[in-house]
């Protein structure tokens, strides 16, 4: 699939079509699987759903996987299964809002830690502070596909006897010390929203866990809390993954390793080509001997972020800001808890400086060269 097409503009000059920042992938094998599921499987609760769960659990290295209608439902139902009602759970201010919301959906209260000094992992001293004050769980987020420093969180979880729930919604296939994220904590949530490293080409999510009682409870909550067709003993929802989406997810899962490999190779090129700008931009954490990221996003930091974003936009390069507002400064959280600017300064600064460069497996080497060269040109222009 070509992402750069030479076009003629109105004056007959050759221009590039834009390079998209993210790209959901629809290939013929996915279309065939979808049509086959629509024609031959049950619309709801079909064989494709059970197979997708089995295959995803095997891939992650977890005993159970439960397919859901979204990543948000996956997080919500884990916290409902863990019965966090009335309790505090420590999480990050640096994520999509669903991470913290899920604790409230289950009747708990999110309390926040800032990101760490060196990467997007949680500041463990702030996590410890909340655990000492009685928080009953930890929700780290493997943001941008970068696994958090799990060992230090696990030490805290063990010391204070609290469970760790992983938000792996951006990290399908990332590994920490050789283990896939989603197999590290008591349970984990994945999202299959179209921009993710793998998608069901619609909304979708998955819970992975080794705990049979969590798997059973999540399955029940997603299915109206039923014990049999018309008997219900808990308050449930209708939040199952549709069969046609599961069929697409199964095909996407087969491509995931190869796509993640391509993302890593693109990230390597960005690291190499932008290395000389290191005093002017911040590059993302990247791989270490313990950590294998999957680069859901490749996020750089730069003081004059909006200027660079505008410049790249003019050059046909689409970039995004993930995220312009940390969770504690969302109007909802200000209204509910009275958070103020300055409370979590590292996340607040990142919100002003972060820029997500184009990152998806169908970027060509030429695209990556072009993006990198235009970033270098931008700095040449502002320093001349």
Ligand X SMILES: Cc1ncc(COP(=O)(O)O)c(C=O)c1O
Binding site for ligand X (CB under 6 A): 70-72, 95-96, 98-99, 141, 167, 169-170, 191, 193, 203, 205
Residue 377 Cβ vs ligand X, minimum distance, rounded to whole Å? 31
Task: Quote the CA–CA distance of 41 and 247 in Å, as a whole number.
Answer: 10
| Minimum distance from residue 203 beta carbon to ligand X (Å) | 6
Render 179-223 in DSSP notation, one character per residue: EETTSSSSEEEEE--TTSSS--SSS-EEEEES-HHHHHHHHHHHB
**Residue 283 DSSP class:** P
Q: Which H or E element spans position 255?
A: helix 243-274
- Whether the ω angle into residue 323 lies within 30 degrees of 0, i.e. cis, is yes
Measured from the CB atom, the residue of 167 and 367 that comes closer to ligand X is: 167
364: its two tokens: 């060509």
Min dist CB 361 to ligand X, Å, is 18
Would the CA dihedral through 220, 52, 61, 284 be positive or negative? negative
Contact predicate 181/197, CB 8 Å: no
- For residue 251, give both structure tokens: 């095909």
Name the minimum Å distance from CB 137 to ligand X. 16
**98 or 300: CB nearest ligand X:** 98
C-alpha 161/C-alpha 264 separation (Å) is 36
CA distance linking residue 135 with residue 336, whole number of Å: 18
Beta carbon of residue 201, minimum distance to ligand X (angstroms, whole number): 13
- In whole angstroms, how close is the CB of 322 to ligand X at the nearest point? 8
Beta carbon nearer to ligand X, 191 or 217 = 191
Is the Cβ of residue 169 or residue 267 nearer to ligand X in the bound state? 169
Name the minimum Å distance from CB 88 to ligand X.
19
Q: Which is nearer to ligand X, 281 or 319 (CB)?
A: 319
Closest CB to ligand X among residues 285, 370: 285
Any alpha helices (H) in 275-364, and if so which ranges? 305-314, 331-337, 345-353
Closest by CA to 370, choosing from 269, 298, 258, is 269
- For ligand X, which is the closer residue by CB, 116 or 191? 191
In whole angstroms, what is the distance from residue 37 CA to residue 46 CA?
8
| CA 75/CA 183 separation, integer angstroms | 15
Minimum distance from CB of 101 to ligand X (Å)? 9
Judged by CB, which is closer to ligand X: 78, or 319? 78
Give least dist CB 73 to ligand X, A.
7
68 beta partners: 205, 240
Cβ closer to ligand X: 127 or 280? 127
Which residues, other chains included, contact 127 with Cβ-Cβ below 8 Å and sequence gap of 6+?
90, 113, 138, 153, 156
193 vs 379, which CB is nearer to ligand X?
Answer: 193
- β-partners of residue 317 are 19
Q: Taking Cα atoms as reference points, which of 127, 118, 117 lies closest to residue 152?
A: 127
Distance CA 299, CA 282 (A): 9
Instruction: Work out how close the CB of 87 gets to ligand X at its nearest, in angstroms, rounded to a whole number.
Output: 20
How far apart are the C-alpha atoms of 97 and 365, rounded to whole Å?
34
- The residue number whose beta carbon is nearest to ligand X equals 71
């Amino acid at each position: 699939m070509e992402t750069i097409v030479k076009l003629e503009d109105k004056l007959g000059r050759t221009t590039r079509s834009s390079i998209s920042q993210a790209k959901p992938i629809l290939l013929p094998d996915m279309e065939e699987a979808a049509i086959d599921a629509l024609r031959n499987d049950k619309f709801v609760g079909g064989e494709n759903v059970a197979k997708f769960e089995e295959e995803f659990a095997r891939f992650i290295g977890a005993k159970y996987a439960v397919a859901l209608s979204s990543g948000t439902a996956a997080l919500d139902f884990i916290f409902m299964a863990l019965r966090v009602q009335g309790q505090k759970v420590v999480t990050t201010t640096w994520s999509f809002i669903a991470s913290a919301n899920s604790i409230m959906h289950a009747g708990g209260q999110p309390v926040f830690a800032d990101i760490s000094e060196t990467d997007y992992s949680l500041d463990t001293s702030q996590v410890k502070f909340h655990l000492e004050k009685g928080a009953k769980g930890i929700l780290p987020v493997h943001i941008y596909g970068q696994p958090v420093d799990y060992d230090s969180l696990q030490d805290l979880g063990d010391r204070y006897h609290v469970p760790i729930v992983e938000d792996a919604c951006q990290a399908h296939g990332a590994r920490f010390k050789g283990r896939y994220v989603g197999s590290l904590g008591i349970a984990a949530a994945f999202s299959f929203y179209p921009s993710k490293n793998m998608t069901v080409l619609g909304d979708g999510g998955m819970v992975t866990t080794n705990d049979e009682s969590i798997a059973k409870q999540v399955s029940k909550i997603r299915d109206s809390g039923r014990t049999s067709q018309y008997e219900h003993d808990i308050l449930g929802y209708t939040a199952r993954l549709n069969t046609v989406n599961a069929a697409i997810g199964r095909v996407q899962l087969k491509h995931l390793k190869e796509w993640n490999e391509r993302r890593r190779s693109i990230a390597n090129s960005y690291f190499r080509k932008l290395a000389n700008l290191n005093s002017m931009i911040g590059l993302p954490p990247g791989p270490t001997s313990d950590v294998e990221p999957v680069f859901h996003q490749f996020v750089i930091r730069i003081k004059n972020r909006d200027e660079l974003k505008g410049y790249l936009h003019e050059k046909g390069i689409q970039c995004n800001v993930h995220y312009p507002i940390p969770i504690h400064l969302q109007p909802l959280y200000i209204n509910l808890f009275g958070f103020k600017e300055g409370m979590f300064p590292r996340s607040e600064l990142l919100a002003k400086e972060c820029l997500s460069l184009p990152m998806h497996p169908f970027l060509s080497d030429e695209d990556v060269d072009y993006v990198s060269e235009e970033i270098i040109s931008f700095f040449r222009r502002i320093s001349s």
